[in-house]
Homo-oligomer: A and B are copies of this chain.
Amino acid sequence: MQRVTIAQVAERAGVSTATVSRVLSRRGQVSAAVERKVRRAADDLGYQVNVIARALRNSRTDTVGMVVPSITNPFFTSLVESVEHALGKEGKELFLCDARSDPRIEARRLASLAARNVDGIIVSPSHGVDSRPAVQQTADRLPLVQLDRFVDGTTTDWVGVDDVAAMRQVMDHLHDGGARSAAFIGSLMTHSSTEQRFAGFRRRAEELNIEVKPDQVLLGDYSVEWGEAAVARLIAEGGLPDALVCADDLIALGATRACRAHGFVVPQQVQVTGYDDIEFSRLAEPALTTVHQPRDRIAAEAVRLLAAASLAKDAERGPHARISLVPTLVVRDSTRATQTPPDRI
Residues of A within 8 A of B (CB): 1, 3, 48-53, 55-56, 61, 71-72, 74, 77-78, 80-81, 84, 93-98, 111-112, 114-117, 141-142, 224, 253-254, 257, 260, 279-280, 283-285, 313-314
Contacts and interface: CB of A to CB of B under 8 A. Distances in A.
A121 to B, nearest CB: 14
B84 A98 contact: yes
Oligomer copy total: 2
A93 B81 CA distance: 20
Contacts of A284: 283, 285
Contacts of A283: 224, 253-254, 257, 280, 284
Nearest to A117: B52
Contact of A115 (B48, B74, B142, B285): B48
Contacts of A285: 260, 284-285
B112 A93 contact: yes
B77 A1 contact: no
A114 B51 CA distance: 9
Contacts of A279: 72, 224
Contacts of A53: 56
B72 A78 contact: yes
Contact of A51 (B71, B96, B115): B115
Given A56-B56, A279-B224, A115 B49 contact: yes
A51 B111 contact: no
A201 to B, nearest CB: 24
A1 B114 contact: no
A55 to B, nearest CB: 5
Contact of A142 (B1, B114, B117): B1
A48 to B, nearest CB: 5
14 contacts: A1-B142, A1-B313, A48-B114, A49-B115, A50-B117, A51-B116, A53-B56, A56-B56, A71-B71, A84-B98, A95-B95, A96-B96, A224-B283, A280-B283
